[in-house]
Structure formats: C-alpha cells, structure tokens
Structure 1
Amino acid sequence: MENRDFIITSLQPWDIEIGSTIKNTALEISKKNRVLYLNTPMDYSTRFRGNKNKAWIRRMDVIKKLVSPIRQLNENMWIADCPFCILPVGKLPTSFLFDWVNKLNNRKIANHIRQIATQLGFNNYIHLIDTDIFRSQYLKEYLKPSLSIYYCRDFVIGESYWKKNGTRLEPLLAAKSDIVLANSTHFAERFRKYNRHTYPIETGVNLSLYDGRKSWPVPEDMKPVPHPVIGYVGTVNSTRLDSDLLLRIAKKRPTYSFVFTGPEDEVFSKHPIHQLSNVYFLGKKPVETLPAYISSYDVCINPQMVNDITNGNYPLKIDEYLAMGKPTVATSTHTMQDIFAAHTYLPANEDEYLQALDNALEEINNPMRKEERICFAETHSWGHSVRKIYTIIDKYYKK
C-alpha cells in the first residue's frame, strides 16, 4: 500500500519516553504513506495535576502558544498537538452524563483534526484508533474517514479508570469500526462477537536497535553486578508483574543476581524484595541504551501475573529479548503459548520458574540457540507487522 493518507489517534502521546508499538507502527506506515499522528489532548484535571513529564510539557507549550501545534517528523509524517484541554470524564456519576460530555470532547477533537487535515491536504484518509476508547469514540461519525480501524493492543478495560465506561463503550467502538485489529489471538476472539472483520496481528521489534549480533558495551551500573544475571527491562508495574513470586525465587537462588531496568510504580517500590542483596533496581534508562542492558544479562525474564490484563497481551519485550539472542523465561500466558512457545521457557508456577532459570542458564554459551532466537525475532519486524495491516485493509476493500 502506497500514497495513502493515515490519521492516527492514540492513547499514547508521541512524546512518551518509552518504546511504543503505535509509534513504531506509525513510522513504518510513513515510509510509503502520509501519516498525521494526533497527540490527543489532556483534560483539565491532568493539566492542573501535572506530572510535568516530557509529554505534559510539550502539550502545555502548545496551549500557551509557545510552539507550533504541528511538527513534521519526516517527509511523510506530522505530529499534531491540541492547543486546548478537554473536560475530564472519569468521575462523572452516570452513563448519560459521561456520554454527553464525551461527545463534546470528541467534537472538539474532530474539529481540530479536520482543520489540520485540510491544512496538510489529507484526503480520503484511513483513521486508525489506537486503544483510545473515550476520546475517539465518536470520531468516525464526525470525521467520516474512508476507513475506520480500531486497534486494541492492551486490555485497558481491566484497569480501574476504564472499567465502568470502557467495558460499555469498547464493544460499541469495535462494532462501528470497519476493521478491528488485535495484537493477540486472545483479544481477537473477544472482538469477533462484535465485528466479524477482526484480525490478530503480531507487533514488531526495532531490529536496527535491538541487534544481538552486535558487540555492546557493559553499562557502568551493571559492572558491579555479579553473574549470573537474570534481567528484566520495562516498567516495573505491580498490576502486571508478580512481585511475591519474584521475592520467593530470588530468595531460593541467592547466587543469581536479579536486575530490573525500568521505572517502578509506588507499590512495587515499597515491596520487601528491595531488602534482598541479590536484587538490583537500576531505574529508568533512555530507550537507546536498553539493548546494552539486555546484552549484559545472562537470562531475560517477564514474570507476569496471569490475569485479564496480561493473559492476552502481546509483550513487546519478548521480541526485544529474542532479537538480542537471549535465553528467555516468561510466565505462561495465552499469547506466550500461542506465539513464543518454541523459543522461550514458559513456567506456570514457582517450581517451574526455578527449573526454567536453571535450564536457561545452561544455554548462554550456545551460539546455535542464540542464532535461532535472533532469526525468529526477525520475522517480527515492524515492516512485517505493517504489511499484515495493509493486507487486511486490501482484503476489506475487495470485499
């Protein structure tokens, strides 16, 4: 697919300081098509609460008219910020009031999109909604795109903010969309009852960054850590990672160093696991440095809890681990069994985890197994993922 116009509205602002499936997808689409990525506006409560991260600062600069609301990222891609805030809806008491205010917000966003699209000469565009259940709920009606796609990458309605109204509105958004994309077969099964044009697609990995055949320097804060190193990269989140399981495993393998590279949430930061001498929390790191950390690990882990949020989620970090050639141990979930079973260890309980870690360490000097993992990860490039999306769109148009 070439020379088409895409407009993307996402739950994630462009300026988040972590890796992102939708950002990589947008960049891949922009190689042959024009892309307008909308930084959907923050509401007034977020503005005044202000955690003052990079995304918040950028949005405030646009609202204050200190910078232009439009940035051109490359020849075919623009980022558009909203020079306004919208009304908060999360705590509204009734569905009627929620929908009424949410429609006002959607109309305001749609007017801004139309203005930018006209300015850039976007025509007959495809609208890709990335898990933005509330702020994109009525954009199909207001924008009338040539094609509307809802892309579910996560079970957000399992989170407390989304449960009340997201559980009600996500099926409606999926049903009215022309196509639904899901990043796992588990999610796809859920959406097919709302929309028969539902397709699972696997996400990708940035192979130019995560290069397991390259020699990487050992980060300074990893040099004092004794081997063997069992490592995790990503947000250390108490709603997704099994902290109690990790505590028990780390106690039973005192000669293993357990390293976590990424920001912690408040609950995890106060967990007793911090008291263990063989556990290291290195904090948040720039994305471009993460391959060096993974390279310095002996075995990589993704010790998730199994719940509605994690069971169907596609863990991008697994592709990153495998692209770096690392033996990987991850909790057995629907998606892990469906896609990664042949290339990872998938324990389901504490005893299996301990055995899997021991077995994985025996592979660290096996070049053939390393190359197998890298070759598998290469089948999950962003180009491969986006070509699947193009094929699905073409198939829909032909029907």
Structure 2
Amino acid sequence: MADLIVFGEDWGGLPSSTQHLISHLMKRHRVIWVNSIGMRSPRLSFSDMKRVYQKIMAMLKRSDKPSQQSSEQITPIIINPKVLPFHSSKLIRQLNKRLLLRDINRAIEQEGFEKVILWLSLPTAVDMIGSLSERASIYYCGDDFEGLDGVDHKTVKPLEQELAKKVDLILVVSKTLARKFTNPNTIILPHGVDYPLFSSPTIKPHDLPENAPIAGFYGSISPWLDTDMLAQSAIALPSWQFVFIGDIKTNVSSLQALPNVHFLGPRPHNQLPSYVQHWNVAMLPFLGNKQIEACNPLKLREYLASGTPIAATPFPAVREYENLVAIQSPKEPFSRVILRANKQQKEKSIRQDTVSNESWQHRATQLEALINHLSR
C-alpha cells in the first residue's frame, strides 16, 4: 500500500478539495502532510504580517518529531515547513529544498514510510520531485493559479510549467484547467461533496434574520465577488435579507451601508449546512474573469446537496447543472435571478439526487485506483 507525502495548504482550516480527498485516502494510506510553503512573497500589510507571525509560531512550536494531531478522526503526520517565501530565487529554492528534505526524511524514517507517492497541490513544491525516492508524483490542480488572486503569477507560472513536465500524473477539476496542460497523463477529477453533511436536515441558527426571505452566500468574500451587482440586488429587493458568511477580503462598504445586508463572519465547515438549508436562495455571484472561468467551486455541489435553490452568474462549471440552477442571462439584473431561483423550491429532491453520487468518498475511490496503479 502506497504512503503519501502531500504538499497542500495548512491542514485544519476550511477543507479544500485536497483535504477532502486525503481525509478519505487516510483510511487506507499513511500520510505526511506538509503545510503551505506559500505562493508569493509577503507584503507589508496587516494580513500578510499576521500570516507570517502565525507561520513563525507554528515552526517554533514544532518539536523534532512531526506532529500527529489528537483527534478521534484519523489525521496525517503534519510538518510545519521552515522555508523562506521567496520562490523566484534559485538560491532560496535550494535552501528551502534542503530544509524541507531534512524534516520530511526524518518523518519518513520515524514512520517507516515505503512506496512513497508525492502529491503536490502547490507548484512551489516542484523541487521535491525526484528527491524522496518516490514511486511516482501527482500534481493536483484545483485552481488556475495564473488567474488566482493573492498569487505571484510571474513566479508561479514557470514553476507550474516545470511541475507539469516532471510529474507522472496531473489531476484537474475542470475541462478548462485540462486545456492548460500538454502532458498526456492529465485526468479530470471533478470536485465532490460531503453529501451526508449537507443533505441531513438541521436546525436554523439563531443569528439568521427572521420573518423575511434570505439570499445567502458563504465562502471567501474576495475581489471575485460582484459587490456592485449584489448591492444593486439588495436595493432592488428591500424585503429580502442578504447574508454573507466568511472572511472579508475586499471592499464591501457599499453592501455594509444597506440595512438588509448582514455579514456574520466565518463559520466552521460543519456548521455551514445549518445556514444554507435555511436560506431561500443560495448565491454564486461571481465576476467574469479568468479565475472564475476555470473554477469549480466546492460550494456549488454543497448548495445542491442542501437542496436550496441557487442563483448564479454564468461560468462553465455551473453550466453543468443549468437545469437545476437559475443562471443569469445577459443584461438580466441579478435580483431577477434570485426571484427566479426562489420559484424552484419544489425541485429540492431533484437537486439533492443529482449530486448524491458525487460524494468525496466516490471521488476517493476513483483516485484509489490511480494511486494503486502508480505505486506498482
């Protein structure tokens, strides 16, 4: 049975597709998880300095033995990497590689890993390929990093191109991303959904507005949201309440000024079903840009599993469910899309049934066959 060394985001936050898949694979495979080694150099901003502080504290707390988190659930061996986030420098890359190899090889020896397969979700980990006597390597591409906000595109693009040439298998989450790569070993593995979590009925949270229809969104409140369109919608629908859950990472002053708009802050992933199930309409209000064109948002299938009607701006991933989602037409006010979606309440079971066979467990089973083939 193959052992996995995974380079991803920091373990334990809102779960990414990588965390969902690896969580299921851990039932049969031992895993070393290397927390994020970054995608750009830090700036002199509060958020970046806070992030740097958190990473330094995580490294200082680390003992000589990689941490195994205490939990009733299976968790990976976690390494907090001691690296410098300056990936455009060849000298820094060599230093980072040496530091990473020291920690990872120690963990491999302590845990007795064999038949190692590398899983890379970040192009900045490219230098690890061929350095750990691995049987094979996988690049899991869940985003278009060339269009992703908060990424040093000039540095990351050539790293991703280098990575795509070196790995044995590329997994992408959408057809749009598949077109980026010439590697013939490129396979589309769409996102899944925690269907039992999002489909099981829940109690309405106390902090949701009462006695009014609700249009809601959860996730990162970032520049890819069309805040102007949302403000226009809230003004056009004064009897509706607009609820947003997540960290605010962009200017939302136009929305905060409106009496029927509410920002509730972030919530743990396992609490999200209790919110979305009690909205009248769940929103996917994205701007049209390169990142959104390539995205396959986890919340799309989570919304469907909840059964809540969905109002969305047009992008390729949502078109796959166009019979189940109210999708904005050219020049159509988004407020009308919300009202159209609200008329689809009776199709709840159809929405849920459509994604009932798209669980993360099902995706992990597909992935298991690929890993077994690579580990031979």
State the match for 2:334 in structure 1: 353
> Structure 1, residues 65-93: CA drift from partner, whole Å, max 9, x if none?
579532156786423223x6322316xxx
State the match for 1:85 in structure 2: 82
User: Aligned pair in 2 of structure 1 residues 22, 297: CA closer, same or farther (>3 Å)?
Assistant: same
Aligned partners of 1:310 and 1:57: how far apart in 2?
29
State the match for 2:29 in structure 1: 33
User: Aligned pair in 2 of structure 1 residues 177, 348: CA closer, same or farther (>3 Å)?
Assistant: farther
User: Aligned pair in 2 of structure 1 residues 44, 176: CA closer, same or farther (>3 Å)?
Assistant: closer
CA RMSD of superposed structures (Å): 2.8
Aligned-partner SS, 2:263: strand
Aligned partners of 2:259 and 2:138: how far apart in 1?
49
Aligned-partner SS, 2:152: helix
1:241/1:304 contact within 8 Å kept: yes
Matches within 5 A, 1:358-369: 358-364=339-345, 366=346, 369=347
2:20/2:360 contact within 8 Å kept: yes
2:209/2:241 contact within 8 Å kept: no
Kindly state the Cα deviation for residue 44 of structure 1 after the two structures are TM-superposed: 10
State the match for 1:168 in structure 2: 158
Aligned partners of 1:391 and 1:353: how far apart in 2?
43
User: Aligned pair in 2 of structure 1 residues 356, 148: CA closer, same or farther (>3 Å)?
Assistant: same
Aligned-partner SS, 1:351: coil
Aligned partners of 1:122 and 1:293: how far apart in 2?
41
> Structure 1, residues 96-128: CA drift from partner, whole Å, max 9, x if none?
xx1231132123212311210111011111111
Q: Determine what percentage of the aligned residue pairs are the same residue.
A: 26
What TM-score, normalized to structure 1? Answer: 0.85
Of 265, 268, 279, which aligns to 2:251? 268
State the match for 2:219 in structure 1: 234
Aligned partners of 2:207 and 2:28: how far apart in 1?
41
Aligned partners of 2:119 and 2:11: how far apart in 1?
15
2:136/2:374 contact within 8 Å kept: no
Matches within 5 A, 1:221-370: 221-224=207-210, 226-238=211-223, 240-265=224-249, 267-269=250-252, 271-337=253-319, 339-351=320-332, 353-364=334-345, 366=346, 369-370=347-348
**Total equivalences in the alignment:** 372
Kindly state the Cα deviation for residue 349 of structure 1 after the two structures are TM-superposed: 4.2
Unaligned runs of 5+ in 2: none
Task: State the AA in 2 paired with 1:24.
Answer: H
1:34/1:77 contact within 8 Å kept: no
Aligned partners of 2:19 and 2:115: how far apart in 1?
22
1:230/1:256 contact within 8 Å kept: yes
User: Aligned pair in 2 of structure 1 residues 57, 87: CA closer, same or farther (>3 Å)?
Assistant: closer
What TM-score, normalized to structure 2? Answer: 0.90
Unaligned runs of 5+ in 1: none
Matches within 5 A, 1:130-169: 130=121, 132-134=122-124, 136-158=125-147, 159=149, 161-169=151-159
- Is 1:189–2:187 an aligned residue pair? no
